[in-house]
Structure 1
Amino acid sequence: MIDFPPHIAERMRHGDIEICQIQFINIELVRRQSGERWGALKAKVFDIGAFFIEKRLHKDDIILRCKDGYIVIFADALPPPPALRAEALSLEMNEFFVGEEAFRALSIKCNHLKFQPGELAVFLAGQNATLNESARMPRAASDDSGETAAPPIEPKKPDLVESDPLSDAEIVFEPVWDPRLETATTNMVLARGPHPQTGHKLRGRQLCFGDNRRRHNARYDCLVLNRTIEEIQSMREARQPAAFSVPIHIQTICRRESRMEYFNLIRALSEPLRRYLFFYIDGILAGTPISQIEDAFRSLRPFGAGAMAMLEFGHTDLSPFNNVEMRLVGWPCPAHEPVSGLSPVQIKDIRHFTGIAKQKKRRTFMAQVSSPRALDQCVEAGIDFIAGTIIGASQTYASPPYALRRSEMANVTDDIFEV
């Protein structure tokens, strides 16, 4: 039986109470992929998760550990409302774990639930919930004298680099392959660069880390777009055909300032040149509101040839896209052995993904494919477009479409920047 603080116990007996159920989605997949490292990674997920959540709670809220995540009991309904706080937790926690290679398949789902007296205790029993240790310790609070109580000792916060993670980034172009036509049809554009402190090689959203992740994501999107616009103009002057898949994070579109900055860059292109652009929207997670998704696709419609959703591996719920114009849906390829390729479980997941996409009349895309075996497995599973180092080396310039047979890819490596 959980020994709740008096203020929570009283509300559970006599009043409605609201909670946020925080679930780690695909954690079993992470366990299978991580092998012997699972013990340490699991501790990291739950320890960092608890610390992250606690920093965003009101002083009287309570956090519980349960079988697949955490449960936050809101002590009251003070602004912002619990439903909005739960939504914000979902977005921020998912962004927090983005870029961690080991957690590529992990996503966080936050559900806002409301219980009448007596119902919550039954729910918690079914979740095997236990009081988090830090919840037993008083948080800093002001007493009647106006003095602030000493804060409890907190676990060390993970080191967050204050240096500019994009300072040494370069923009590269990777070919996207159509296996049916055996043609490299499009340039997928992304940034890569060294970690400012460790020198560790990062690519894509891995470069957007730290306390200012949303700002870094928006800046990343503009850096990639700026370089793409330069290349579009060069290809146009050379009278060469070309197509570009450029990233934009959903939070860049949702925030008014970053949206306007991004769209103003595109407005520098004439309408015919905008047809060179195809957007892949990333950062869409299990808890992303449908209204945000629909707004993102609707907003991008005048600025390019189309848009697709780049989802997390294992995310197969396409119902939030029922009312949007979307021709493609994509996944990043999960980590795998170079020789044996993808595991049977991963292949099953991909086949399930392509089957659902086909039902929805959407074509599929797989990024970050790095081995010949994984390439063949993706083709066999029905993936329509593929990108990654196995298709071709990253380049600092774009290419027009060109014929590319499967047999020509076996020995391709990215000599410039291995990942």
Structure 2
Amino acid sequence: MTSLANLKAFREALAGADDVSASQFKFLNLDELAERYGERWPKVKARIFETCETFIKKRIGPRDLMLRAGNGFLVLPSPDRGESAPALAERIERELKVFFLGTDYLKELALETGTMPMSISGLIDAADSTALDTAAKEYEKAGPQTVASRPGVPAFDLFYQPVWASASGHIALRCAMPLLDLRRQPDRVFHRVLPGTHRPEDLLKFDIAVLARVSAHAADCLDRGRSCLLAVPVSFETLTVARLRVIYAARLAELPDRLKQVLALRILNAPADAPSTRYAEVTRLASLFFRRVFFDIDFRQARCDRFFEGRLDGFVISAPRDCEALQRDMNALIRFQSGAAHLRAAIAMDDCTSLPVVEESIKLGVNLFQGSIFPKPARFPQPPEKYDPFASRPHAAEQH
């Protein structure tokens, strides 16, 4: 049970050492899971270990050693690895926990990591075993992992759309909006045109680029003494596809704590009919790193009861074009607002172009608003920012 590609070279490299540090991964809930699954447990346990072993193999090098134990795994970094055993353990533990969120039978599997010294003599004895040597040869047959090439991120501009809170009369936060100058579609939000024409890996790379830009801007705001809450947009797909989620979560874990205090996450492109478990895993992951979590959704089709297991602060919905459209969607909006109230989730209305629609929506319980009728965003806002969209009534002539 090893991912060591060259046992001989590994043994020779360790010949002059006394001991080394290894990363130990323990699964603490195996006994509880055995009771829950009963007669099915042997098959489930085998699947757990096979899944985790495959996952860990992809994250260690060809000269690292991995041994499978009764309650977890032991990973020994090769002598030429720049990463220490504790650092390796911390990274793989974080990535495993993120991966568990998307796998039903792993969700409640407790994991604990640590480092431990190993004697070289005992390790070499184990490495000389027939079973270990056979496993190493099987690993060598598989060959090295190929890394797919990543396309470049298209150039984009970033501005911060203010979100007005009707209850307080202040700008509550600012949503980062990445814009592209696309042929035939100038100044469109990238997340709305990318899916369907690009690969998921493209979207991940763009989401990471947006995160980096917004994080840098948040740091700049803090340095100027202007700590306004900023919402980072990310695609639903980036947080649900395991191979993408792990990479994105690793970037989130690298953010300084001071930035996490002023950043929120806005999840885009979510289907209205996704399973409740999918919504739960996405919002729980987001809440690990962000102060607030918002979810873009189509209120006409969404079912709020599917979010009861999740952890979110609010929904973002698209504003009806005018009061006539609002009347057509009135029943759906009332039903959606009732569901959001049970979740104690705010409702933010995006793309607002009509003040009468804003007025009517406030009566229906919508809390937050953003769109072209609100002031142009300041690059470095000075909170708290008081604002009254009805003071000048620029759209007073609009017909109800």
State the TM bucket, normalised to the shorter chain: 0.5 to 0.7
Distance 1:292 1:390, change over 3 A: same
Aligned pairs for 1:241-252 (under 5 A) are 241-252=227-238
Q: Which of 344, 351, 355 pairs up with 1:372?
A: 355
Deviation of 1:379 (Å): 1.5
Aligned to 1:272: 258
Are 1:219 and 2:202 an aligned pair?
no
What is the distance in 2 between the residues matched to 1:397 and 1:227? Answer: 14
Of 305, 317, 327 in structure 2, the residue corresponding to residue 319 of structure 1 is 305
Say whether residues 1:304 and 2:304 are aligned partners.
Answer: no
Once the two structures are TM-superposed, the CA of residue 258 in structure 1 deviates from its matched residue by 2.4
Change (3 A) 1:311 1:347: same
2:161 is matched with which residue: 174, 178, 182? 174
SS at match of 2:390: helix
Picking from 251, 261, 268, the partner of 2:247 is 261
Does the alignment pair 1:357 with 2:340? yes
C-alpha displacement of 1:207 = 3.4
Where 1:329 maps in the other structure, the secondary structure is: strand
Higher mean alpha-carbon deviation, 169-178 vs 388-397, is at 388-397
1:191 aligns with one of 160, 172, 178 = 178
Distance of aligned partners of 1:217 and 1:375 in 2 relative to their CA distance in 1, 3 Å threshold: farther
Q: What is the DSSP-based 3-state SS (H/G/I as helix, E as strand, rest coil) of the residue aligned with 2:162?
A: strand
1:335-414 alignment runs, 5 A limit? 336-337=321-322, 340=323, 342-394=325-377, 400-408=383-391, 410-411=393-394
SS of the aligned residue for 1:200 comes to strand
SS of 2:225's partner is coil
Partner in structure 2 of residue 239 of structure 1: 225
Does the CA-based 8 Å contact 2:173-2:229 persist in structure 1? yes
Structure 2: 5+ residue runs without aligned partners?
1-150, 396-400
CA distance in 2, matches of 1:404, 1:375: 14
Larger relative helix fraction: 2
Q: CA RMSD in A?
A: 2.6
Mapped to 2, the partners of 1:389 and 1:251 lie a distance apart of: 28
Aligned partner of 1:328 in structure 2 is 314
TM-score normalized by the length of structure 1: 0.53
TM-score, with length taken from structure 2 = 0.56
Q: In 2 relative to 1, CA 363–409 (structure 1 residues): closer, same or farther, beyond 3 Å? A: farther
CA distance in 2 between partners of 1:322 and 1:199 (Å): 37
Would the aligned equivalents of 1:208 and 1:220 in 2 still touch at CA under 8 Å? no
What is the CA distance between 1:408 and its match in structure 2?
4.6
Task: Quote the Cα distance in structure 2 between the aligned partners of 1:376 and 1:228.
Answer: 31
**2:115 match:** none
Asked whether the equivalents of residues 310 and 331 of structure 1 are also in contact (C-alpha less than 8 Å), the reply is yes
Matched residue SS, 2:154: coil
Q: 1:233 and 1:303 mapped to 2: Cα distance? A: 16
Letter in 1 for 2:229: A
User: For the structure 1 residues 342 and 393, does the alpha-carbon distance in structure 2 shift closer, same or farther, using more than 3 Å as the test?
Assistant: farther
Measured after TM superposition, the shift of residue 263 of structure 1 is 2.5
1:269-297 CA-partner distances (Å, limit 9, x unpaired): 22232011111222322332322221112
Question: How far apart in 1 are the matches of 2:335 and 2:351?
Answer: 19
Asked whether the 8 Å contact 2:226–2:383 carries over to 1, the reply is: yes
Q: Find the aligned partners of 2:385 and 2:368 in 1 and give their Cα distance.
A: 15
SS at match of 1:407: coil
How many residue pairs were aligned?
A: 245
Secondary structure in 2 matching 1:402: coil
> Structure 1: where are the runs of 5+ without partners?
1-163, 413-419
Deviation at 1:235, TM superposition (A): 1.2
Counterpart CA distance in 2 for 1:248 and 1:256 is: 15
Percent identity at matched positions? 14
